[in-house]
Structure 1
């Protein structure tokens, strides 16, 4: 495969748009302006994209199977980063947060 499948690229594009727009998982992040916390330093934004990409599942035809799940797990990390009282359930597994 020379390039990421179109469905994967579209999923990443929408994720980046919602993230920058402040509209990632509005149910979980309603009222939390996470953008200053993520965009001030690159490593927090890097972690958000790592979680999204690590959780994202793609079938043999290059179709994304769980964009909503990947977005939700990234949103959980954002919420925990911005709200010290929030507890991620289930807790992240090492493979979800691994930087490649």
Structure 2
């Protein structure tokens, strides 16, 4: 039996959609984790080409945890890990701690 077809398809839970919306707002507004990214205008480095922005969203979505009721459990952690990648992308001397694990940076899809 192929379990891939057994999964019920539906909309993302409201809490997840809200979390993604706020993440996109903060990201485009230049206010993702203002403590970690203070003084770094990362937007030109991310928005000029799609790949860096794609990686930021992949990290955010890979780290984001949702409970059985569709409630987001760790929005701050997901934002922080994405902010760490942004900081390392813009500041080559910055070292991400703890280092990213492969599952955090994996790009899914075709």
Q: TM-score range by the shorter chain?
A: over 0.9
Q: CA deviation at 1:8?
A: 0.1
Which residue is equivalent to 2:4? none
CA distance in 2 between partners of 1:53 and 1:84 (Å): 24
Q: CA deviation at 1:19?
A: 0.1
SS in 2 for 1:29: coil
CA distance in 1 between partners of 2:37 and 2:79 (Å): 12
Q: CA deviation at 1:37?
A: 0.1
Give RMSD over aligned pairs. 0.5
CA distance in 2 between partners of 1:41 and 1:91 (Å): 24
Q: Whose Rg is larger?
A: 2
Counterpart among 30, 34, 41 of residue 42 in structure 2: 34
Which residue is equivalent to 1:95? 103
Q: CA deviation at 1:14?
A: 0.1
Q: CA deviation at 1:56?
A: 0.1
Q: CA deviation at 1:82?
A: 0.1
Which residue is equivalent to 1:52? 60
Which residue is equivalent to 2:17? 9
Gaps of 5+ in 1: none
Map residues 11-26 of structure 1 onto 2, 5 A cutoff. Answer: 11-26=19-34
Gaps of 5+ in 2: 1-8
Which residue is equivalent to 2:6? none
SS in 1 for 2:66: coil
CA distance in 1 between partners of 2:51 and 2:93 (Å): 21
The answer to which structure has the higher helix fraction is 1
Q: CA deviation at 1:83?
A: 0.1
